[in-house]
Structure 1
């Protein structure tokens, strides 16, 4: 049984819906999951070492990470994530020139900190629909399969 952290920032609730769906799926597969929000339950980046798998969710707009995630992002510089699998997911908006830049930025930071990065960055256009919810479950399953390797 893996210990997984699902940590997210949500502006409109869309990334939160994705985080809840992913968390429920992982729990249903009998893994130990901690579900936290950057807004309400901040976690020090140094605690990432306590998890086998880390799923970071964030909304994306413009070309940067959200302000709620900035301190955590900077604190990741002090953490060695060797042996950890990190995945990213979130709500994005194709209105902007870059689609889902926060997810790419977080994945790059995790890779710089020596983690394995799950190949799929789950990007959903604005609010998740039923098909997107199904995709969240498939994303979680793929992540768990990769974690088991």
Structure 2
């Protein structure tokens, strides 16, 4: 059975909800999942998983990383995740110019780790609605299919 590690950063609860949707979709695909809040996680935890997923929000006008995600982000740069499949999703506010920039930032870091992209990033405007849930379920389906093809 494939294993997944889902790490999330959430200020308002939106990304915790996104992580729960991702976790449920992974479980429905018969993947064993462990979900952790980013301040309690270590990028080295990804070494023990087949699928690595980050759900993070973007903070402020400049598209900043959440404070609680900075150490995780910096440490992720040092990981060798060759043979792993990754996905990144998260929420933001379209009011800001840098909508969901952190989602793209984490995807770029995963590329540097040698991990294989499992699906295009998913960006959610604030809280997930029906369309977003469908997109997240498709996101998971693509990641699981990619992992199974390796």
So what's the TM-score if we normalise by structure 1?
A: 0.92
SS at match of 1:4: strand
Residue 80 of structure 1 aligns with which residue? 80
Counterpart of 1:28 in structure 2 is 28
CA distance, structure 1, for counterparts of residue 102 and residue 32 of structure 2: 26
CA RMSD of aligned residues (A): 1.3
Q: 1:77: how far off?
A: 2.7
Residue 6 of structure 1: SS of its match in structure 2? strand
Greater than 3 Å deviation, 4+ residue runs:
none
**SS in structure 1 at match of 2:114:** coil
State the SS of the aligned residue for 1:11. coil
The Cα of 1:78 is off from its aligned counterpart by 2.4
> Using the alignment, how far apart are the partners of 1:47 and 1:17 within structure 2?
21
Q: Post-superposition shift, 1:92?
A: 1.4
**Structure 1 unmatched runs, 5+:** none
* Equivalent in the alignment of 1:11: 11
Give the unaligned 5+ runs of structure 2: none
Hey, what does 1:52 align to over in structure 2? 50
TM-score by length of 2: 0.92
Number of equivalences: 147
Q: Which residue pairs with 1:127 in the alignment?
A: 127
